[in-house]
Structure 1
C-alpha cells in the first residue's frame, strides 16, 4: 500500500500542485499517509504536513509529531460532542479541501461516509477524489 500511496502523493504534488497535506492520526491509513508525505517532503521541501485534531488541544493535548509542520483544530469545534468530533473534523476538511486521497475498500467501512460525501462534492466540481482501493459506492 505505501508505494501506491507514495506515488499518489507525488502525483498530487507534481501534477496538481498540491503543497498542503492534512492527515489524521487515528487509523492505519493516516499513519501511512503521514509517512508518504514525510518522504515526499525530502524531495519537495515546500510542502507542509499538518495533523488534524478532532479534539480540542486543551482537552486532549497532542504534541506536534516528528516530521509534521503543525496541527490544525477546525474552527467551531468547541461545542461538538466528543463522540461526533472525528466525523465533524472530517466534514470540515472535506468542505475546505480541493483533493482527497482515500483508501476505502468495503461498504461497511467507517470511512465510507467520508468517501460518499466527498464524491457528492466532486459531482459539483468542489473536490477531486482518489480512492486507492478503487471502490466507489456511488
Structure 2
C-alpha cells in the first residue's frame, strides 16, 4: 500500500496534528502501508516526514520517498530513502508543484489530508483525490468526531 500527504504550508495546533499523524501512520503501516510519498514543502509536509522518520525506527521496512517537483533544483533529500521525479519535463515551472501533487495522488492508494479550507494548493490536491476516488483520511473528519 502506498500513501501520500496533502496539507497546508502552515499548521496550527502542531502537537495535535502530530499526534493525529502518529496514530494514522501507525494504523496504515499495520494495515500494510510500506511506501510514503512526501512533497517536502511546508509545515505539514515537514511534520509528516518527521513522524514517519520516528515510525521508521519501529518499522524499518517502510520507505520514505521525496517526490521532486523540479529536476534541476537542489532539494534536501537526507532523511528520505530515495527521491522520485515524475514525468514533468514538459510542464511549465509555475505548474510543476500542482502537477507533481496530481501525480502523487494518482500513484498512491491513500491520501492523508490536513486541509482546513477550500482554496489553495492543498485543497486542489484534495479535490483531485476525491475525483480519483482515493481513500482519504482527513484531519477535519477526525475533528468532527
> TM-score scaled by structure 2?
0.82
C-alpha offsets along residues 11-70 of structure 1, whole Å, 9 cap, x if unaligned? Answer: 11112x1000010111110001001110110110000001110001xx2122422x2101
Answering whether residue 36 of structure 2 is matched by residue 8 of structure 1, we say no
How far off is 1:134 after superposition?
2.5
Q: Does the CA-based 8 Å contact 2:113-2:126 persist in structure 1?
A: yes
Answering whether residue 131 of structure 2 is matched by residue 120 of structure 1, we say yes
Q: Does the CA-based 8 Å contact 1:100-1:129 persist in structure 2?
A: yes
Q: Which has the higher strand share?
A: 2
Partner in structure 1 of residue 81 of structure 2: 69
SS at match of 1:89: helix
Partner in structure 1 of residue 140 of structure 2: 133
Unaligned 5+ segments in structure 1 are none
- The CA RMSD measured in Å over matched residues stands at 1.4
CA distance in 1 between counterparts of 2:120 and 2:98 reads 13
Unaligned 5+ segments in structure 2 are 1-16
SS at match of 2:66: strand
> TM-score scaled by structure 1?
0.86
Between the two proteins, the alignment pairs up a number of residues equal to 126
